Chain A
Amino acid sequence: MAQSYASSPFAHAPSNVTRVMLDVVYALVPAALAYAWLFGPGVLVNILIASIVALAGEALVLAWRGTAVRPALTDGSALVTALLLGLALPPLSPWWLVTVGALFAIVIAKQLYGGLGYNPFNPAMVGYVALLISFPLEMTTWLAPAELREGHLGLGAMLAYVFTGDLPAGLVMDALTGATPLDTMKTQLGLERTIPEIRAASPIFGQVGGTGWEVVNGLYLLGGLWLLFRRTITWHAPVGMLGALFVMAGIFHLYNPDSYPGPLFHIVSGGALLGAFFIVTDPTSGATSNKGRLIFGAGAGVLVYLIRTFGGYPDAVAFSVLLMNMAAPTIDYYTQPRVYGHARGE
């Protein structure tokens, strides 16, 4: 007989934090691979650097705090943060940019608040926003899809650029980079062009979203559906966010289809799908009840649309999520369920 006397229940579901985190990692793998295929391997370098820095940073802080390092490192939560940050950053970022972002995410946004489960803000998004505000040039230098680039950039050349900032002879940065579809759309609309004109003028627009980006975002969607199937996430936050974005974009598009892109463009562009399935679904910094998640997601969706359309940034998933993170405790407070045997509101 065991010497330790525990109390009931003595059975447990085969779920644990590591499984939840690893599910998220697996769900992101196809999109990350497609991203690397379509835009070059830079994104994988991002992810690798971010992962190493995140794990090292987490280990360092945990050791400082005098807590057990191994269980925290192996739970996969730092890996998820690194992966999300790596995917969110421009795919050809200098090493120091990734390092600063990952450290900020893990050390400041996660560990300083108490580590796993205690962070009020999504760490990856805090890291991203910190970089976006501090290094706007680097954060807006996006690689164009490989098929649209004028010069070829192999893995070796990319690594060289990431760590030294030097490009191979004869290549200039401008030849490799291009504005993202959201950015292009925003700038051109600002020049009073109509959407059909803009789309016709630029090869970066694909069927619905941007060339290349459509595929990556489609795989985010597939990964998200797999998480739903695994019951790692619930449908409420993604549906809330995408639904709100769809409705907002739909209303404005119907009002004036020439100057407001349609709902589908908004959904498959930028970080909307990554955000809907992998970021607003973060349990720690989001709302906890299903009703709360629906509201949380919808709030993020509305904010994404408003900032994209009327704000100063072409995309806004990170800002929207952080703003909603602040609202999460209030949402939780007002979405408490009615307890069995109690009258409503009791």
Chain B
Amino acid sequence: MSRQLWRFHGGLHLPDHKELSSGEPVVEAIVPRQLILPIHQHIGVPAEPVVEPGQRVLKGQVVAKADGYVSAPVHASSSGTVVAIEPRPVPHPSGLSALCVVIETDGEDRWTERQPVADYKELDPSELRNVIRDAGIVGLGGAGFPAFIKLNPGARTAIDTLVLNGSECEPYITCDDRLMRDRPDEIIAGARIMRHALHARECVIGIEDNKPEAVAALREAIARMQATEIEVVVVPTHYPTGGEKQLIKVLTGKEVPSQGLPLDVGVVCHNVGTAAAVHRAVERGEPLISRVVTLTGGVGHPRNMEVRIGTPVEELLAQAGGTLEGVERLLVGGPMMGFDLRHRDAPIVKTANCLLAITGEMAASRGPVRPCIRCGACAEACPVSLLPQQLYWYSRAKDFDKVQDYNLFDCIECGCCAYVCPSNLPLVQYFRFAKTEIWAQEREKQAAELARRRHEFRTERIEREKAERAARLAQKKAMVAKSDSAEDKKKAAIKAAMERAKAKKSATEPKNTENLTEAQQRQIAEADARRAEKKAPVDSEASGGNEE
């Protein structure tokens, strides 16, 4: 069972604090009185509400449907009545509100009709993907990318390795650990379905060596379920091994190309929680309406709970003994990549793997910000081999071309650089700032480009319309001219006579215009014409009427 492992550059050995919450099995959390379901819990286009306030819904019923390809539906996590569809605070770094479907639960927790698939092997991969898409499954590791898309490699891409990510490298978080220990069968069953959908040659579950119980539980399940096509590989505990790109490197030695996808190297990577959700969706017909959440740090009773999506954070914390005195902030996610939750009435969403209460004591290790002393500790720690120090200077100087030359967009925001920085520089914050500025500039550029194209199109249209109008007018006039040709003849005769007279007059005048170039002659002719016009304004006006 020894598989060659690779290393990625940098990374950190962090105190993991996992023992705090990993001791007890997952417990089902109470179904809250009110469920708040944001319609946007995934990467991509927000879902579109399909229920009305006042409507009764059943557990598992779609309340918002996917809008477009990169989107995911949202389901009612319990039965009850829709009471509002309105903006509510959601767990997002911005602290802003977003549209949510609010359900008053009835306590019955009654399921809608479920349609489990008896044998997934009978289903075509595309049908399987539809089941997974309709179940609203998104990546449960944190990013929340609709899972079915990563199970749809396209006919031309051969998938070599399906990687299941059970490394859970962030300190404090133990929801995947507990899931692997408590429900290994679900993960293995899900892995089989995913492998079938992808036609992957092999399936590898990568787990950090600080979770021996999880490794044992999964290996036992594999043996029991005779799923020998799935291999559990123990990888060293080394933050951020749980990063998709890092885990792929460790397990396969392959590097996902910059700006590329794991697909480009024949790998697909899913979280173990996502695998379990796939199993539930396919073999039990249950959409994604709950997830395991770690409640840890400064809480009375750190633990893991199976939480209905939409449960308000405050209510959930109460079931973990509430937050302790001295808690300064509440994070969604871990201490390295999580974000500050500003509203405790915000709900748990599909991507919320952990609630971490940070006490003053834990935050105290951070000292005052000092100038960069160029020590290079950041570059040493960077798992992508970036030069955070250079990125910092250029971000600070707002030199957004240079910062991209130094591969800003390869930064995974793991926080290793800022963690080790002796000057306490908020490096990741600078990088986020630079990225956001560049995106804003790109958008502006696109908007400007669009405006330019619009303007050009408009000018073109006006020109075209003018030309068309002129053509129409000419046509009309030609018709009119035909109809009174008699009058026309008379006018032509007068004109001819006048021209003859004019020619006679000009012929008598001395003109030294022989042996001139064509251009000069034209100039002279033009000058003559102008002179003539001035001399006989009445003539020109009289004849002008018919000239068009």
Contacts and interface: CB of A to CB of B under 8 A. Distances in A.
Interface stretch (B27-35, B47-55, B111-119, B413-421): B413-421
A342 B255 CA distance: 8
B239 to A, nearest CB: 10
A141 B531 CA distance: 103
A287 B545 CA distance: 85
B327 to A, nearest CB: 7
Contacts of B374: 117, 283-284, 286, 288
Contacts of B413: 8
Interface in A287-322: 288-290
Contacts of A289: 376, 379
Contacts of B336: 8-11
A171 interface: no
B385 A118 contact: no
A14 B14 CA distance: 11
Contacts of A12: 365-367, 418-419, 424
B373 A11 contact: no
A20 B371 CA distance: 14
A154 interface: no
B93 interface: yes
A interface, by DSSP: helix, strand, loop or mixed?
Answer: loop
Contacts of A2: 328-329
Nearest to A2: B328
A283 B177 CA distance: 40
B331 interface: yes
Given A17-B423, A288-B374, A10 B171 contact: no
Given A1-B327, A6-B426, A337 B362 contact: no
Contacts of B328: 1-2
A340 B262 CA distance: 13
Interface string B327-366: 1111101011111101000000000000000100011011
B245 A75 contact: no
Interface in B310-337: 327-331, 333, 335-337
Nearest to B366: A12
Given A20-B373, A339-B407, A10 B428 contact: no
A7 B332 CA distance: 12
Contact of A7 (B14, B363, B385, B428): B428
B87 interface: no
Interface residues of B, number: 65
Contacts of B365: 11-14
B382 to A, nearest CB: 9
A97 B383 CA distance: 48
A290 B342 CA distance: 41
Contacts of A286: 374
Contacts of A1: 327-330
B18 to A, nearest CB: 14
B435 interface: no
Contacts of B330: 1
B386 A9 contact: no
Given A10-B363, A283-B373, A283-B376, A5 B340 contact: yes
Most buried by A among B9, B258, B371, B384: B371
B256 interface: yes
A337 B380 CA distance: 10
Interface residues of A, number: 40
A245 B294 CA distance: 56
Contact of B258 (A17, A20, A284, A339): A339
A284 B373 contact: yes
A291 to B, nearest CB: 11
A115 interface: yes
A117 B363 CA distance: 26
Interface in A70-129: 71, 75, 77, 114-118
B389 interface: yes
A18 to B, nearest CB: 8
Given A9-B335, A10-B358, A288-B376, A340 B410 contact: yes
B339 A117 contact: no
A164 interface: no
A136 interface: no
Interface in B418-439: 418-420, 422-424, 426, 428-429, 432
B156 interface: no
A336 interface: yes
Interface string B5-16: 000110010100
Contacts of A75: 370
A133 to B, nearest CB: 27
Interface in A55-82: 71, 75, 77
Interface in A1-49: 1-2, 5-20
Nearest to B373: A117
7 closest Cβ pairs, A-B complex: A9-B415, A117-B371, A288-B376, A283-B375, A341-B258, A11-B335, A337-B385
Given A12-B419, A17-B370, A288-B379, 4 more contacts: A8-B333, A10-B331, A288-B375, A339-B258
20 contacts: A1-B327, A5-B340, A6-B429, A8-B331, A8-B428, A10-B335, A10-B358, A11-B419, A13-B12, A13-B420, A14-B365, A16-B368, A17-B423, A284-B373, A336-B387, A337-B9, A337-B379, A339-B410, A341-B257, A341-B258
